[in-house]
Amino acid sequence: MKAEPVADPDNRYGIREERLLTGATVITAVRTVASVVLAAMAAHQEDLTLLVVALVVYWVGDMLDGFYARVRDCETRIGAVLDIMCDRFNAAAFYIGLAWLQPDLSPAIFVYLAEFMVVDCFLSIAFLAWPVRSPNYFFVIDRPIWLWNWSKPAKAINSALFAVLLLATGWMWVGLAIASALLVLKCVSLHRLVRIGLPVPEASS
C-alpha cells in the first residue's frame, strides 16, 4: 500500500523557512518548564491539586503554542518536533507524579506512558519523512492515520480522556482498558504506516 498525497499547489502544508526561535517555540519552552516545575513541586509536597494545575498548564500551553504558530504563520518542522518532545516530558512529569501520589493507578499509567511516549512518539515524528510541517498535516500523506491520531477528536481522546477519567474516578481498571485500547489503535496506525512505507533518501554516490 502506498500513500496518495493530496495536491498542495499553494504549499499550505509544506516546508517553509526553518528556524528554532519563534513565538511558538518560546511558548512551548515556557509551558514545559512551568508544568514540569509544578509537577515536581506537587510530588514533593504530595499535593494532587498542584499536580492538576501542572496538567492544566501543559494542556493550555500546548493549545496556545499551536494556535500562535498557525495565526502568526510561524509553523516549522523544528517547532513541531520540539512540541512533540516537550509533550512527552510534560506527560511523563504529570503521570509519574500521579503514580507517586496514587500508586494503585500505576498499571494503567504505565501502559498509557508506553503508548504515548514510545508508539505515539514514533508515529508523531514520522511526518519528517515527508515534506509537511507537522503531524497536523498528515492527511496530505494518509487520511486514516491522521483521523485516528491528529484530528481534533483523536487528540482530545489521546491526551485528555485518560487523565480526566483517572482524576475524576480513580478507576484503575477502566483507565487500564482505555490505555490498552489507545495502545492497540496506535499499533494499528503503526502497522498502516509500515505498509505505506517511510520514504528513504537515495544514497549519494
- Shared domain for 75 and 129, answered yes or no, is no
Summarised one tens digit per residue, pLDDT across range 75-100 is 899 999 999 999 999 999 999 999 99
Query: Helix 106-114 to helix 162-169 angle, to the nearest 10 degrees?
Result: 170
Q: What CA–CA distance (Å, rounded) separates 179 from 118?
A: 13
Q: Which residues contact 186 (CB under 8 A, 6 or more apart)?
A: 115, 119, 120, 123, 149
0.85 exceeded by the pTM? yes
pLDDT above 60: residue 143: yes
pLDDT for 202 equals 59
Spatial distance between the Cα atoms of 139 and 184, rounded to a whole number of angstroms:
21
Residue 114: CB atoms within 10 A of its CB come to 16
| Residue 10 banded pLDDT, cuts 50, 70, 90 | very low
Domain identity same for 91 and 161: no
- Are 116 and 56 found together in one domain? no
- Residue 43, pLDDT > 70, answer yes
The residue among 109, 107, 111, 65 whose CA lies nearest residue 87 is 65
Position 31 in a domain: yes
Average pLDDT over the chain reads: 90
Q: What percent of the chain has pLDDT over 70?
A: 89
69 and 79 inside one domain: yes
Q: Which residue has the higher pLDDT, 3 or 195?
A: 195
Which residue carries 510530588 as its cell? Answer: 43
Asked if the structure places residue 9 within a domain, the reply is no
Of 101, 124, 143, which residue sits at a domain end? Answer: 101
Q: Are 126 and 194 in contact (CB under 8 A)?
A: no
Mean pLDDT for 107-121 is 97
Residues 72 and 116 in one domain: no
User: For the stretch 16-28, what's the b/e string if a residue is b when 16 or more beta carbons lie within 10 angstroms of its beta carbon?
Assistant: eeeeeebebbebb
Domain that holds residue 151: 103-198
